[in-house]
Amino acid sequence: CNYFSTYICFHFVNAFPLILLDLLPAKNGEEATMQFLLELVDILTNYVRKSFDRSTKVLDFHHPHQLLEGMEGFNLELSDQPESLEQILVDCRDTLKYGVRTGHPRFFNQLSTGLDIIGLAGEWLTSTANTNMFTYEIAPVFVLMEQLTLKKMREIIGWPSGEGDGIFSPGGAISNMYSVMIARYKYFPEVKAKGMSAAPRLVLFTSEHSHYSIKKAGAALGFGSENVVLLSTDERGRVIPADLEAKILDVKQKGYHPLFVNATAGSTVYGAFDPINEIADICEKYNMWLHVDGAWGGGLLMSRKHRHKFSGVERANSVTWNPHKMMGVPLQCSAILVREKGILAGCNSMCAGYLFQPDKQYDVSYDTGDKAIQCGRHVDIFKFWLMWKAKGTIGFEQHIDKCLDLSQYLYDKIRNREGYEMVFDGVPQHTNVCFWYIPPSLRGMEHNSKEYREKLHKVAPNIKAMMMESGTTMVGYQPQGQKVNFFRMVISNPAALQSDIDFLIDEIERLGRDL
């Protein structure tokens, strides 16, 4: 018996003897169902336990062709005939075995890391309830939780009395897409019925460091990616307001219509916060929509110490904020928040009679589905609501502050350390610490030489590949503009400690020493 099974293993001494047709809704299927679920929970809780155990690997890497060939009998192919429930449980074990432990204290690879136990509980409940957000009728509790949570988020943003609108969407890219749609609807409502030809040529502005979803939204929604103008940034990756104004004037001179500015609050690579107040001044001057993409930075709004980086956010017309990133909520959990009430419904409603009947017995203003671009919508709110209950606002604040402290620890550790070079100067605004590791063989070389740049460009990918092969830790890298590949360390993992940061640096040096 393993750890968790000590509670229950006496019930499962034999091989699992059941088949699918023994489970509910089969008559007398209760016991078999409970046994099957309990056996599964045993697998899952073991995985949870191991995910937090530093003596386990972050991943056990295999190439696609290896997994496709079938590792030790793990067969991914689907067939006409059913498998036994025993095999299903083995499949579950194998699925976890060959995956990546994103909750591991040394997993730093993405903006979303960690495994929050309350969030996990919330997701387990959500999938057990298995309902849909489109009407109060079939999701009364979840619909109300969403409304109350969105209101709370708007209060934190600083909109008076938390008034406004909003919805949870399947991710930051879709939330950002919403912002562009409603900006267009606000200024050119006739586009909804008549299409883009009813408006002048509309232009969107966003930082060259911003998330690619703004450009994707521009392409998808019919603006065209060329009508998404990229703004220059300072050395730290923050939009230069004067560049914004110059580009707006340029666009106006060409006879186009400047519609929308996206200010990034926590850019993906540098963690930069654009100066919202100065951008808001410009938006007011030119009567433009201001969106703040706080997908990554949003969590900092909950920290009294760090929320000043969002100064001016209450002047935004819309805000993207992904609790599934910095706040450690399980995927997916992203909100688009809007200052003007009713505009989401105005923009998106099509009044489908089969779903949103006006003649229900309850107050149908709670049927919020028609303001979404989706029809069915997954319940993303519950895990977040439950975490908020369990942590309180102060618990989120503590988590955010701790992650930023850890990031400062890393920055202090490496900024003057031999073999490291920072990608930009100064303390990071978010938890993003961007740096090059320079192996000894490169340290004497002329930094501007082509050879040096080519060699340095390969260092991070090489170290990362070795990291994944050894499975000890994971951290991201990428080039940016003219800058060759560098590591982007981000910390959102609640399990990470200073010793894990030390481990990462040791590991980079161990793997990169002889490059």
Report in angstroms how near the CB of residue 104 gets to a copy of itself at its nearest.
10
In this structure, how many other beta carbons lie within 10 angstroms of the beta carbon of residue 485?
20
Spatial neighbors of 254 by CB under 8 A, at least 6 apart, are none
Q: At what angle do helices 498-512 and 381-414 cross, to 10 degrees?
A: 60
Contact string (CB under 8 A) for a copy of itself, positions 312-351, x = contact: ------------x-----xxx---------------x-xx
**Among residues 13, 28, 253, 353, the one that binds a copy of itself under rule CB under 8 A:** 353
Contact segment (CB under 8 A) with a copy of itself among 4-12, 280-288, 312-320, 506-514 equals 4-12
Contact segment (CB under 8 A) with a copy of itself among 46-54, 242-250, 278-286, 417-425 equals 46-54
Q: How many residues bind a copy of itself (CB under 8 A)?
A: 169
Binding flag, residue 224, a copy of itself (CB under 8 A): yes
Which uninterrupted H or E stretch holds 101?
none
**Among residues 1, 17, 37, 285, the one that binds a copy of itself under rule CB under 8 A:** 37
Which residue lies nearer to a copy of itself by CB, 103 or 266? 103
Quick one: tokens of 263?
């200010």
Sites for a copy of itself among residues 415-474 (CB under 8 A): 458, 461, 464-465, 468-469, 474
Contact segment (CB under 8 A) with a copy of itself among 26-34, 281-289, 305-313, 403-411 equals 26-34
Binding flag, residue 15, a copy of itself (CB under 8 A): no
Tell me if the bond preceding 25 is cis, omega within 30° of 0: yes
Alpha-carbon distance 293 to 206, whole Å?
10
DSSP helix/strand/coil, 16:
coil
**Among residues 1, 68, 242, 427, the one that binds a copy of itself under rule CB under 8 A:** 68
Alpha-carbon distance 227 to 219, whole Å?
9
Nearest to 410 by CA among 398, 395, 427, 397: 427
**Among residues 87, 277, 498, 499, the one that binds a copy of itself under rule CB under 8 A:** 87
Report in angstroms how near the CB of residue 107 gets to a copy of itself at its nearest.
9
Binding flag, residue 45, a copy of itself (CB under 8 A): yes
User: Angle CA(144)–CA(150)–CA(152) in degrees, nearest 5?
Assistant: 105
Sites for a copy of itself among residues 109-128 (CB under 8 A): 109-110, 112, 115, 117-118, 120-121, 123-128
Which residue lies nearer to a copy of itself by CB, 35 or 312? 35
Which residue lies nearer to a copy of itself by CB, 23 or 240? 23
Binding flag, residue 285, a copy of itself (CB under 8 A): no
Residue with tokens 């069915």: 376
Sites for a copy of itself among residues 144-173 (CB under 8 A): 144-145, 148-149, 152, 170-173
Contact string (CB under 8 A) for a copy of itself, positions 242-281, x = contact: --------------------------xx------------
**Among residues 1, 2, 17, 62, the one that binds a copy of itself under rule CB under 8 A:** 62
Report in angstroms how near the CB of residue 341 gets to a copy of itself at its nearest.
17
Give me the amino acid identity at 112: S
Is the Cα dihedral 142, 147, 151, 157 positive or negative?
positive
Backbone angles phi, psi at 122, to 5 degrees: -60, -40
- The CA radius of gyration of the chain, in Å to the nearest whole number, is 25
Contact segment (CB under 8 A) with a copy of itself among 273-281, 310-318, 381-389, 501-509 equals 381-389
In this structure, how many other beta carbons lie within 10 angstroms of the beta carbon of residue 446?
9
Contact segment (CB under 8 A) with a copy of itself among 72-80, 242-250, 278-286, 415-423 equals 72-80
Residue with tokens 């161990």: 510
Which residue lies nearer to a copy of itself by CB, 273 or 385? 385
Alpha-carbon distance 6 to 49, whole Å?
14
User: Angle CA(297)–CA(303)–CA(270) in degrees, nearest 5?
Assistant: 30
Residue with tokens 């609790």: 323
Alpha-carbon distance 104 to 74, whole Å?
24
* Residue 463 · residue 511 · CB < 8 Å: yes
Spatial neighbors of 149 by CB under 8 A, at least 6 apart, are 381, 384, 385, 388
Alpha-carbon distance 447 to 456, whole Å?
10
Which residue lies nearer to a copy of itself by CB, 34 or 242? 34
Binding flag, residue 9, a copy of itself (CB under 8 A): no
Sites for a copy of itself among residues 199-218 (CB under 8 A): 201, 211-213, 215-216
Sites for a copy of itself among residues 178-197 (CB under 8 A): 181, 191-197
